[in-house]
Amino acid sequence: MPKNENLFSSWRGWCGRVTSRLVHRGWRAVQRAGAVTAERPGPYRFGSIGVGTRLAFPQGTLFGEPWIELGEHCVIGEQVTLTAGMMPGVDLGPDPVLRIGNGVVLGRGSHVIASVPVEFGDDVFCGPYVYVTSDNHSYDDPEQPIGRQWPRSAPVHIGPGSWLGAGAVILPGARLGRNVVVAAGAVVRGEVPDHAVVAGAPARIIRRWAPEEGWQPPLRTPAPVPIPEDMTVEQLLALAELEREQTKERGQVGERGLEREPGAGAS
């Protein structure tokens, strides 16, 4: 290859790398500047927004903010839609319509649609693309397009400590108890008791905690051992390295056992 072509390729590669770095650095700056917090609410005027709460940029559709209350230390992912009322510019009265408690996490692309009260308890964690709504289309009149018929609405309550898996749908009138697990893709309506696991469409209870018997049916795996609060990063790294060495040693012992075993691998 001619020398000038090599120089051109090197120059083009260098320019591409620099451009990529600049684009990513610029986008991170835009994300920081566009995030919504109590100190930097941007164009939005929420009923309240707690300390430490952050709405990532870019936001999804937001309207009816005066009737939306966000607790403290919430994490609202990118492209999350939060709406109060059927449409922007409607007076919804003196009381909040959408209440999100402290420590709530709403994953990327989730939607929360509230024209009547919707409430999230504290420490509710939602995966990406969760859909929570107080409104559902009606189809009573067979002659009218469904989208033009007045919807049915009912309040929604999601109990504290619950976990909603990716793509879960919570329909009008749903009332989830405390520490409820909603499996990914489940469609929930009606009452769900405390400490229950629901899955399916429509969702049904597949596991529940009983004070006398524990989880029924029993859990298939043991509970993970929590990390001690006073453990340092260096100690965690050393523990991980020790576990890798022990795993490697167990594998070597297993290989030696197979080598010594007569007829190993014979059919």
Contacts of 81 (CB under 8 A, 6+ apart): 60, 61, 62, 110, 111, 112, 113
Nearest residue to 196 via CA among 178, 173, 218: 178
Nearest residue to 36 via CA among 65, 12, 9: 65
Residue of 24, 73, 137, 157 marked catalytic:
137
Q: Which residue is listed with tokens 């009923």?
A: 47
Contact 186, 200 (CB under 8 A): yes
137 has catalytic annotation: yes
How far, in Å, CA of 129 to CA of 106, rounded?
A: 9
- Pairing state between β 196-199 and 204-210: antiparallel
Active site residues: 137
